[in-house]
Structure 1
Amino acid sequence: MAYRETEKMRQRKAAVRQKITDCTYRCVAEGGFRNAKVTRIARMADVATGTIYRHFDSKEDLFAEIFRQATQHEVNKVADALAPPGDARERLERALRRFAERALEGPVMAWSLIAEPVDPKVEKERLTYRKAYADLFEQAIREGIEEGCIPDQNTRQSSTCLVGAVSESLVGPLSPSQTGQTTTDKTDNDPLVDTIIRFCIQGLTGTRR
């Protein structure tokens, strides 16, 4: 008679998998992917290291899953900032500000998502989510062109430029050598965020903010 997995067993396996991902997420948030060792994750999750590999084919697959979860959360925050009423330029400014401020408020995780050297599987996810940000910005730029608050331009190229400008501007400030891997005072970041937003909006519209 073939073995049939019971619902109780499926729920138990799902709970173990969730505990592993939760602990991995915490490790990355505290010290980046490089400090998320499988032995430490197993210890935190109170499972054997072999259990981790029963749920994930490799460490890279586990890290890719964490990257997807963390970045999708941030993409959703940017989407939320673009959703409220207002002209497209205002909404883009709000979304770009949300992107930058959230990164600077959680520099360790932000560095891990934006710039930390990672395995190819995780890097592939990084490229996917950079496109997700660009897609959101592109739609807003198109709406701005239709509204007349943003001049006509190549929306795809402009959207990828926005993602690149914000991300590159944050690499230095988020670097562990600069942050000491601690959270920072929001007021200390205001001038940097204002400069990033000013540069992006001026490049997008051709006018000073």
Structure 2
Amino acid sequence: MSYKRSSLMQERMEQNRLMILQAARELISQGGFKDAQIQAIAERAGVSSGLVYRYFANKSQVLIEVLSDAIQHEIRILNHIAEENASPTVKLQKAVTAFVKRAMNSPQLAYSLMFEPVDAELEHERFRSKQLIKQSIKGVLAEGKISGEFSFEDLDTAALCVVGAMTFVVIEPLNPSRNVMFDQNYKDYFVKQVAEFCVNAVQYQEGK
């Protein structure tokens, strides 16, 4: 009986934690990190501020976990593409397309997670997240170098350049201060251009 109570309590605690993180993610998606204050998160999750502090020491810890969860999801998508039975060129095109398209479809969330000014602790997590993305891209580039599809001098530098292109390229279109809405045709065109740029940057060419 005691074990059953303990199991139910553990399940309830995990559910509360997930509700808090989901509430924080929704607030970030609507107004950025500045709107994801502890009181607002608690109200959104339907819990007390005190309960939020039972799970997280401060706001930064909540936001770090939201960022970490979001990036882990992106990494799973990139790694799944990297493991597909396809050429490195196709994999790179699909990986960049998937990442940029998801950013364009959730502009405020993507902008906040990647670019909104944050404290040092959250910035460190952001840097770590980009390193994980780079590792996934490196695998595809290395495969392409071996197959002869890609040509570049240094694998690490090439991966950094691709990740830089696929992340920082969205700063302007996603920046909330511009208050610009893009239709689907523009999004599709923009994503296609970014993916083609990244592939062309590393693709082998005669005399290159």
TM-score (norm 1): 0.89
Aligned-partner Cα distance in 1 for 2:18–2:187: 34
Q: 2:195 aligns with which of 197, 200, 203?
A: 197
**Residues 24-58 of structure 1: CA deviation (Å, up to 9, x unaligned):** 11111222111112111111222211111111011
Amino-acid identity (%): 27
Aligned-pair Cα RMSD in Å: 1.9
Hey, what does 2:29 align to over in structure 1?
29
Tell me, which stretches of 5 or more residues in structure 1 are unaligned?
A: none
**Residues 156-187 of structure 1: CA deviation (Å, up to 9, x unaligned):** 1110111111211110011002345x6x4321
Aligned-partner Cα distance in 1 for 2:12–2:195: 47
CA contact (8 A) 2:75 2:132 kept: yes
1:122 is aligned to 2:122: yes
Hey, what does 2:184 align to over in structure 1?
186
Q: 3-state DSSP class of the match of 2:153?
A: coil
Hey, what does 1:161 align to over in structure 2?
161
Hey, what does 2:69 align to over in structure 1?
69
CA contact (8 A) 1:107 1:179 kept: no
Hey, what does 2:60 align to over in structure 1?
60
Q: Which amino acid is the alignment partner of residue 198 of structure 1?
A: E
Q: Which amino acid is the alignment partner of residue 107 of structure 2?
A: P
Q: 3-state DSSP class of the match of 2:169?
A: helix
Hey, what does 1:147 align to over in structure 2?
147
1:17 is aligned to 2:17: yes
TM-score (norm 2): 0.89
Instruction: Write the mapping of 1:42-61 to structure 2, written as runs, cut at 5 A.
Output: 42-61=42-61
**Residues 57-93 of structure 1: CA deviation (Å, up to 9, x unaligned):** 1111111011111121122222223332221112101
Task: Go from structure 1 to structure 2 and tell me whether the alpha carbon gap of 1:207 and 1:192 turns closer, same or farther (over 3 Å shift).
Answer: farther
Task: Go from structure 1 to structure 2 and tell me whether the alpha carbon gap of 1:102 and 1:179 turns closer, same or farther (over 3 Å shift).
Answer: farther
**Cα offset, 1:206, TM superposition:** 5.5
Tell me, which stretches of 5 or more residues in structure 2 are unaligned?
A: none
1:102 is aligned to 2:102: yes
CA contact (8 A) 2:152 2:202 kept: no
Hey, what does 2:112 align to over in structure 1?
112
